[in-house]
Every structure is written in C-alpha cells, then in structure tokens.
C-alpha cells in the first residue's frame, strides 16, 4: 500500500488510487458472515442456534467447501470458546467435520485479551477470529454494563479495530438480542462500531428449524433465510435470499459443466462487465477452471479450492471428510491463554503500507 510521505499525517487520494488493492472490495472469508479486516456481530436470542450456525460455517470454510451455496476459500480460524464447555465446542466441530489443523480453540482470555489474541493469530496464521460470546469479551475489557456507550467507544471498539487492522483478520462476534423485539441488545455504540450487523430471528415460535437473518452494513443491506437440515447429513441451506454474482456464476457452471464464456454471460443475469470481472476473479481464486482453448472456453468448477495455508480441502460441498483420527482425538487444536512464542523472522503485519500484503 502507498506509504505516507515522510512524517506526514495524511495520504493524497491520487497516491492511494494508484494501488489497485484500494479499489477492491474486502476479501470474503465466509460468505455473508466474515470479511478480512472487518468487524461483524451476529445478534440473536439465547439458544437460537447462533453457535451452531457459526460452527458449521467455520467447519465448511476450514475445508474450503461451500457455505449457503457459495464457495469458501480454505482458511484458518481462532475460535474463542469463552462461555460453553470446550468439549461442547469440540463435539460440534466433530459433527460438522471441521479441519483440526485449521481451527485453534482458546478457552480463556486472561490478562490483556488483545495481546493474547494477537499472539494466537500470529502463531496460528489465522484468517479469522470468532468470539463466543461478545458479552464475555466486554467483561474482559472491564465493561460491566453493555449499555455504557462511553466506555464502549473509548476502549472496546478501538481494540477491535486495532486487532482487525494490525493482524489483517476478519472478526465475528456472537452477540445477544433483547427478548421483547429481537433487536441487538446493549448500547447502539456496539452496532455502530461494527462494519456489518446480522440479526437472526426464529419465526413460527421455533417450531421449524428456519432462521431469518437481517443484514445491515457497509456493503449493503438485505434479508435472507436459512434452514437447518437434520438427518444423516446435517447442514444449513439457503432457502430465501439473493446470491452474489460470483455465486450465481458458480452455480450456473456447476449445473452446466463445460459451458463457454458466452453461455455463462447469457445464462446469468446482470451486466456484462461485472460478469466478466466475476469470471476473472473466480479463475484467479481457483474456484473455476477453463479447460478449453484460446478459441473457446470450457468452464468447470475447480476440483480443489485454493488454500490460504498448509491444508487441502476434501469431501463434498455439504458434508466434508471426517477429521477424526481415533478414539479421544480432537478436531481442534486447543490453545490456552499462556504466552506463545513469536515465529522467527519479520512480523506478519506492520505499518499501514503493509496491511494488504499476502499473509502466507
């Protein structure tokens, strides 16, 4: 990224525009839930399935599989299990087949939680952090009342911002909504301090496994509905809501393998240039392959999603391969909150000009 000139406290817009990264939208880590460098909170009533949804999403992304009909790039996560027993977290990841070498679990944030999470991100080379729950993280920050906007604005939000910017990770918090209206609980400083807020509601008085999520944030607003499918294979599926343009193209190619570029452009709604750009991005990410010639494209869905770390994906889009290795084995790396030795070599993050460099 363009650096500041000398000791200047500002950037010239013309200098920033010279960096193509400045004009790109944030990298999606988990479709609809997590973006690199962004702060997101999922609000919902207690025991409404928030942790189950987040566990499934992280498990799918750790394997480089699909989540709500959209392909995930394989990623590594730190899961902060601050509320429930760690064995409960492990069992959920075992059920959904999370990649044990890409999910690190922290069950305590003693002392300075910002430093603890920072060390853990460095050690694990994580792409995203999930905190379950936000209320306990507020408590760790010394905030006893979630309605105290002054304390939240003075210390809590700035720490979240520091974490996402310095470590270049996505942050996803599990929050609570109130009982009367199902709106986010606590001070509006909490929702104002997020890049994206998601509110999950259970219609039909919880008689059906359907959840409606309202999305408000820097990258648009809307609503979509999901359903938890139970049986031999348990997963969440999208029942209502608009797919992204890349998701529509990926779905079209899945249904019409060996399609030409013209066929994709004609078969997917939307403007021609945005569709061409989306095809280019999907090819670069390895999510689709062109098996044709210079004269005629022949697109297929990529067999192995691109990895951002040292693992490979496997299994089917909805049911990943099992990660169990034997009785008593865990599907997650369990890390306590003790000191972690930094990796040898230069730091993986630094001043502003390095914020968008490749992390691997």
Q: How far apart, in Å, are the Cα atoms of 35 and each of 75, 171, 184, 197, 300?
A: 12, 8, 21, 12, 26
Residues 109, 187: Cα–Cα separation, whole Å: 23
- Any domain includes 350: no
Residues 115, 87 share a domain: yes
- Any domain includes 9: no
b/e burial code for range 79-94 (CB count within 10 A of at least 16 → b): bbbbeeebeebbebbb
- Any domain includes 18: no
* Overall number of domains in the chain: 2
Q: What is the pLDDT of residue 343?
A: 40
Q: What is the pLDDT of residue 153?
A: 92
Strands 103-106, 333-335: pairing kind: parallel
Residues 235, 159 share a domain: yes
Residues 205, 65 share a domain: yes
- Any domain includes 7: no
Range of the structural domain that residue 136 is part of:
26-241
Q: What is the CATH number of the domain that holds 198?
A: 3.40.50.300
Q: What is the CATH number of the domain that holds 262?
A: 1.10.10
- Any domain includes 132: yes
Residues 213, 113 share a domain: yes
Q: How do the pLDDT tens digits run along the chain, 360 residues long?
A: 455 555 578 999 999 999 988 888 889 999 999 999 999 999 988 888 899 999 999 999 999 999 998 889 999 999 999 988 999 999 999 999 999 999 999 998 878 999 999 999 999 999 999 999 898 898 888 888 898 899 899 999 999 999 999 999 999 999 988 877 678 988 999 999 999 999 998 876 655 678 888 888 887 668 888 989 888 888 998 887 767 788 788 888 988 999 999 999 999 888 888 889 889 888 887 888 999 988 889 999 876 444 444 333 344 445 444 444 444 444 445 544 444 444 443 333 333 333 333 333
- Any domain includes 196: yes
Q: Of 255, 282, 301, at which residue does a domain stop?
A: 301
């Amino acid at each position: 990224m363009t650096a500041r000139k000398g000791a200047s406290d500002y950037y010239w817009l013309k200098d920033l525009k010279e960096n193509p990264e400045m004009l790109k939208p944030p990298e999606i880590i988990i479709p609809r839930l997590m973006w690199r460098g962004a702060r997101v909170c999922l609000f919902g009533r207690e025991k409404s399935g928030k942790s189950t949804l987040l566990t499934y999403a992280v498990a799918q992304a750790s394997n480089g599989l699909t989540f709500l009909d959209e392909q995930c790039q394989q990623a590594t996560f730190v899961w902060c299990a601050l509320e429930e027993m760690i064995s409960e977290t492990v069992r959920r990841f075992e059920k959904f087949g999370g990649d044990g070498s890409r999910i690190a679990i922290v069950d305590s944030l003693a002392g300075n939680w910002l430093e603890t999470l920072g060390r853990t991100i460095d050690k694990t080379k994580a792409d995203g952090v999930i905190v379950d729950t936000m209320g306990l993280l507020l408590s760790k920050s010394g905030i006893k009342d979630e309605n105290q906007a002054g304390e939240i604005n003075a210390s809590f939000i700035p720490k979240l911002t520091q974490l996402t910017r310095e470590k270049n990770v996505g942050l996803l918090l599990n929050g609570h909504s109130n009982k009367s209206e199902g709106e986010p609980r606590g001070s509006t400083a909490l929702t104002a301090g997020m890049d994206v807020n998601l509110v999950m509601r259970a219609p039909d008085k919880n008689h059906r496994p359907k959840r409606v999520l309202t999305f408000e944030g820097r990258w648009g607003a809307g609503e979509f509905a999901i359903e938890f499918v139970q049986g031999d294979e348990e997963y969440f599926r999208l029942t209502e809501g608009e797919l992204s343009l890349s998701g529509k193209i990926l779905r079209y190619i899945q249904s019409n393998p060996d399609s030409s570029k013209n066929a994709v452009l004609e078969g997917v709604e939307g403007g021609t240039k945005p569709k061409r750009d989306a095809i280019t991005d999907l090819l670069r990410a390895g999510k689709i392959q062109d098996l044709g010639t210079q004269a005629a494209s022949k697109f297929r869905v990529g067999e192995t999603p691109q990895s951002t770390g040292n693992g490979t994906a496997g299994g089917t889009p909805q049911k990943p391969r099992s990660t169990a290795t034997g009785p008593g084995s865990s599907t997650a790396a369990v890390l306590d909150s003790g000191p972690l030795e930094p990796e040898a070599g230069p730091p993986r993050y630094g001043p502003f000009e390095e914020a968008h460099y490749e992390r691997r």
